[in-house]
Amino acid sequence: MCGIVGYTGPREAYPVIIKGLKRLEYRGYDSTGVALLNGGLKVYKKKGKVVELEEAIVGKDLHSHTGIGHTRWATHGEPSDRNAHPHSSASGKLAMIHNGIIENYTQLKKELSSKGYSFKSDTDTEVLLNFIEEIKKNNQCGLEEAVRVALKRVVGAYVILLLDQDDPGTIIAARKGSPLVIGIGKGEHFLGSDASPMLEYTKEVVYVNDYELAIVKPDELVLKNLGNEKITPYVQKLDIELAAIEKGGYDHFMLKEIFEQPQTIFDCLRGRLDIMGGTITMAGVQNHITQLKNANRIMIVACGTSWHAGLIAEYIIEELCRIPVEVEYASEFRYRNPVIHKGDVIIAVSQSGETADTLVAIEKAKDQGAIIFGVVNVVGSSIARLSDSGAYTHAGPEIGVASTKAFTAQLVVLTMIAMKIAYEKGTINQERFNHLLNELHEIPNKAEIVLKQNDAIKKLAEKYKDARDFLYLGRGYNFPVALEGALKLKEISYIHAEGYPAAEMKHGPIALVDESLPVVFVATRDSYHEKIVSNIQEIKARKGKVIAIITEGDETITDMADDTIAVPEADEIMAPMLSTIPLQLLAYYIGVAKNLDVDKPRNLAKSVTVE
């Protein structure tokens, strides 16, 4: 996590960096800092969000044409001014920012302490910086060489950006495991954790790879490996527009992104779904169709909301393709000794494409012969690049920390993959395939209809905002939706919420039910409908408050529940794409009613690049 920005060129560096940091705050907002080169090094940093630093340094000398900036998600050392990046070296001549974790920093710190170094912060970053400075001094070499030597000793993940007061105009950067993009302008260069800080300046970018070092000057970019050999930068064109990362009149990015869903789902289907021709075109699937349809097993690896999308995909793939599916938390999968057979297919699901646990999990599986299929939102991200094949979700940049539109786009892509495999494998006939195609085609319109319930959901949020706990229940395809609804509420409103399979509720959570507990049932009409109606009655019999997400026209549940939100009828496979939306809105409005920062909930970060 953490966001990093760098600039070198003819512009004033500070405004470019500050604007860039604001766009990267989704990566963490525990503290903010900048280091500016102008003759000497000026470092300004502060606990809190970017705007707090900005206010605190009004009137200071901010003039500079080369600088770096950082927005932090704390790992080593509490959020505080002194633990904020950039860190300065013992001599005061070097400044560094870091995204990642240096795992062997205790050992390096001991070595440095024995040589008389003392430390101003509790961070692993300051240790690495002084380790670099020590090498520079000892070997009497330049910063570039010192960084190269130091990184050979480093265990962990990093993107680092360094400034040297004796080498004005130059930024040295290196990456392993955390993302780094360099934007190429005319006589200027931009650096960022993603491309958002550079969108208005250039469309030409280079994604730096692991174990690469960049020496960045206004009119020159040199890329090298750690063996000091030059690498030709691979320049790519960005296709993101500035409007995509702005709020566009909404109060929050989260609300904007919830409301974008009819469009993002449509974008996801566009060019792939052909109703007239009765086909789905997905080159990534087609290129590996033999392996996919003959897979003995598919494993889905993901974290957080993406893991919930994986759970729904498990139900869909098993139903349509008759292939056994296992869904794994990437963080668990990577540390156990999973049985992976050559030819197993791993589907990695990730919005950011940078989640460290997912990335390492698939690296490991790939080494053991698995085929990696990436379902990723961010184009050119690490997971996308590591995958053998894949399909982008095309949801556009997602800025709100709680994932919304990326989730529904993941469901759409995973459903299309399942349909395509099933069709090619012959486990569904043309009639069922065509029916599902039509159903998918209708989802954007139906999502639009769901969003019309916005005001009703806002009222519900007012009614239930003071509850201490929530229970979310669902069955079948809607069980993972219950998990996702509970996660959204926890993330945004800090209310404790649990998601459970509705029937499993009898084995424990039912003990929590009393008149103060709101229980959200995801109860759209499907093959389990009668069963979930019984579960609702079980809750009502114990005086729980029932909020039910139902299919339009469901009088049975309307009569039983305290409150209902109706969504249009849809095939049960696709119901989660609709039933999730009211739960996103409910969490959002409860967060707003409690006056919380819904786009940047406490302690969270959007892109989790630490383990």
Mark the segment that binds ligand G6P (CB under 6 A) among 137-145, 237-245, 581-589, 602-610: 602-610
Half-sphere exposure (CA, 13 Å, Cβ side) for 48? 8
- Tokens coding 20: 């860039």
User: Shortest distance, CB of residue 244 to ligand G6P, whole angstroms?
Assistant: 17
Q: What track of x and - describes contact with ligand G6P for positions 314 through 353 (by CB under 6 A)?
A: ------------------------------------xxx-
Rounded distance between C-alpha atoms, residue 108 and residue 464, angstroms: 52
Of these residues, 2, 268, 303, 321, which one is catalytic?
2
User: Shortest distance, CB of residue 121 to ligand G6P, whole angstroms?
Assistant: 26
Which residues is 98 bridged to in the sheet?
Answer: 160
Interface with ligand G6P (CB under 6 A), residue from 14, 606, 609, 610: 606
- Tokens coding 457: 């959901």
User: Shortest distance, CB of residue 350 to ligand G6P, whole angstroms?
Assistant: 3
User: Shortest distance, CB of residue 506 to ligand G6P, whole angstroms?
Assistant: 29
Smallest Cα–Cα separation from 471: which of 431, 521, 429? 521
Rounded distance between C-alpha atoms, residue 84 and residue 75, angstroms: 11
Burial class (CB in 10 A: 0-12, 13-18, 19+), 59: exposed
Rank residues 402 and 437 by Cβ distance to ligand G6P and give the closer one. 402
Of these residues, 49, 217, 405, 606, which one is catalytic?
606
> Peptide bond before 86: cis, by omega within 30 degrees of 0?
yes
Rank residues 18 and 327 by Cβ distance to ligand G6P and give the closer one. 327
3-class SS string, 43-110: EEEEECCHHHHHHHCCCCCCCCCEEEEEEECCCCCCCCCCCCCCEECCCCCEEEEEEEEECCHHHHHH
Rounded distance between C-alpha atoms, residue 474 and residue 248, angstroms: 34
Residues 374-403 that bind ligand G6P (CB under 6 A): 401-403
User: Shortest distance, CB of residue 417 to ligand G6P, whole angstroms?
Assistant: 17
Rank residues 68 and 386 by Cβ distance to ligand G6P and give the closer one. 386
Per-residue DSSP letter, 177: B
- Other residues' Cβ atoms within 10 Å of the Cβ of residue 141: 14
Q: What contacts 430, CB < 8 A, 6 or more positions away?
A: 278
Rank residues 293 and 606 by Cβ distance to ligand G6P and give the closer one. 606
User: Shortest distance, CB of residue 80 to ligand G6P, whole angstroms?
Assistant: 23
Rank residues 86 and 304 by Cβ distance to ligand G6P and give the closer one. 304
Angle at 484 between CA 601 and CA 305, to 5 degrees: 70
- 606 counts as catalytic: yes
User: Shortest distance, CB of residue 29 to ligand G6P, whole angstroms?
Assistant: 13
- Minimal CB distance residue for ligand G6P: 304
Rounded distance between C-alpha atoms, residue 250 and residue 260, angstroms: 11
Q: What track of x and - describes contact with ligand G6P for positions 285 through 314 (by CB under 6 A)?
A: ------------------xxxx--------
- 93 counts as catalytic: no
Residues 403-432 that bind ligand G6P (CB under 6 A): 403
Rank residues 325 and 608 by Cβ distance to ligand G6P and give the closer one. 608
Angle at 151 between CA 145 and CA 152, to 5 degrees: 95
Question: Residues in the site for ligand G6P, rule: CB under 6 A?
Answer: 303-306, 350-352, 355, 358, 401-403, 604, 606-608
Catalytic residue ranges: 2, 606
